[in-house]
Amino acid sequence: MKALFYRTFTVNQGSTLAAFLAVLLLCVLPIPWLISIFFPVLWGSLPMLFLFQRDQRDRWHDLASVLPIPPGDVVKEKYLLAGLCALGYPWCMTFGLAIMADTVAQPTLDLVLFATGSLLCFFALFLPLALGRGGKGVWVPYLFLAILFYAIEYVVTLLQYYPVGFPISNHFDLFPWVLLLGALLFLASYPVAVERYARQKGGAPAVGRTFRPAGAGTAAIARRRVRGKAAPLRALLYKDGLLIRKQMLAFLIPASFLLVVIRFPMGSVDLCFLPLLGIVVPLQLLALDEQTQWTFALRLYPYPPRSLVLSRYFWGWIFLLLGLGLSVGTAYLLYPNYLQLPIPTETPFFLFWITGVVLAVQAVEIPLLFRIGVVHGKIVSLALLLVLFLVLLNVLAEFNPNNPSAAFAYLLPTLKALSPAALLAGLAVNLLSIPLAVREYRLTAAAA
């Protein structure tokens, strides 16, 4: 067990530990997560999904099949981490709500127990399914269960407001029983998960299937010669495209779905944060390159530093534009049909601002990642995002109207007038940062 935890939090600290800390910081934001069934389950289970995704990238389950590690220990590690998530994150959400003592009703112990029980129920269903698949394609059962819990919340909300329905507020005494049910299901699912994991471990020829000799099957692979002055850049973009398709789709699809669902209509503005994918994707690509030692292999190939840097900026721009298109398209789909609200008319000024902010963050993030590395860069990026969210939620936004420093109502006309300037300023800073990123990459490569 100690070796398994050492691998998870020491060897893979750049991805695993960052995922647990990022959700922890998100839970302490002063947002009333506990008034919902879906949000505590979502945030509390995301670190486990990222952990399974990292295991899949490392082919850990194929390697564990040839190591003298009992299947029960592998399953026990996942269950211990899931139990800590179910017990810890709801209390972190309670601490975040305590910050807003003057603006929102404080959560009761029943709500905390209900959130913990819901998370335990989710893990009781998710862990046997994920471990039974050998860590492959875990986003399929995760997405299915997330939609299931969202549907349960929707049905409960309908029952609550239906004239002869089920008034949830009058049945808080049932919430501790949800915790008891979740704990029983969680414990009962453990032997099922061990049995399913041992079955797939014993039946899969992992070594012969996964660790093939180098060059096996290459005769059937079609090869293309990339020519022209931009050939190095096109080759790098082709490599990154394959990496996104094979390694990142399992993360991007659930993340895009969640960002589409989690949107905040504020007045006549639709606050959709899908353009933030333009920040996440370059960071993930650099993390994957570092895990596969691609940064060292680059020294053997004649790729110009400018092409390497531009490939990172290119994917950031692509996913920024993709997020903008999806945010606008889904607004026309969700507001009239699902939310029964008119389409916000003043959303363009918010999109101008968030585009400028994403471009400015890219201008800081990409040179910083080349300078200090991916592990420390992730921590700095998370800290910057936390500060940004705290400022927006407490100073500029109307989530905390009793805050004497709240200035959203006074600054709104100015923000609308400056939105084109914010877009142009973010674009200018982004373009000017490219030579700086090239310089940082050259210095890092020379010092390595």
Q: Which helix (H) or strand (E) holds 396?
A: none
pLDDT score of 212 more than 50: no
Higher-confidence position of 218 and 443: 443
Q: Phi-psi region for residue 227, left (φ > 0), alpha (ψ -120 to 50) or beta?
A: beta
Residue 290, pLDDT > 90, answer no
- What distance in Å separates the CA atoms of residue 360 and residue 422, rounded to the nearest whole number? 10
Q: Is the pLDDT of residue 276 over 80?
A: yes
Alpha helix stretches (DSSP H) within 274-304: 277-291, 294-297
Element (H, E) at 265: strand 264-266
Cβ-based neighbours of 34, under 8 Å, separated by 6 or more: 40, 90, 93, 94, 97, 107, 111, 112, 115
Q: In angstroms, rounded to a whole number, what is the distance separating the alpha carbons of residues 308 and 294?
A: 12
Only one residue has tokens 């601002």, namely 353
168 token code pair = 């949830």
As a whole number, the mean pLDDT across the chain is 75
Is the model's pLDDT at 303 over the cut of 60?
Answer: yes
Question: And the tokens for 222?
Answer: 């079609």
Please check whether residue 320 is in contact with residue 358, taking contact to mean a CB–CB distance below 8 angstroms.
Answer: yes
Buried b / exposed e across 320-352, counting CB within 10 Å, b at 16+? bebbbebbbebbeebbeeeeeeebbeebebbbb
Residue 221 has pLDDT above 80, yes or no: no
Q: Give the percent of the chain with pLDDT over 90.
A: 10
Q: Between the CA of residue 283 and those of 61, 95, 233, 288, 351, what are the distances in Å?
A: 25, 29, 18, 9, 22
Has residue 265 got a pLDDT over 90?
no
pLDDT in tens, 62-78: 777 777 788 888 888 89
* H/E stretch holding 266: strand 264-266
Give residue 149's pLDDT: 85
Structure token pair of residue 354 = 């968030």
Residues in the chain, total? 448
Between residues 46 and 376, which one has the greater pLDDT?
46
Split at pLDDT 50, 70, 90, the class of 308 is confident
Least confident of 181-185, 227-231, 372-376, 424-428: 227-231
DSSP secondary structure, 50-72, as one string: HHHHHHHHHTHHHHHTTSS--HH
Q: What separation in angstroms does the CA of 163 have from each of 157, 173, 333?
A: 12, 22, 28
* pLDDT value of residue 313: 92
Lowest mean pLDDT among 358-367, 374-383, 415-424: 374-383
Interhelix angle 18-27/71-98, rounded to 10 degrees, is 30
pLDDT tens per residue, range 237-249: 888 888 888 878 8
Residue 168: pLDDT band by 50, 70, 90 thresholds? Answer: very low
pTM over 0.85: no
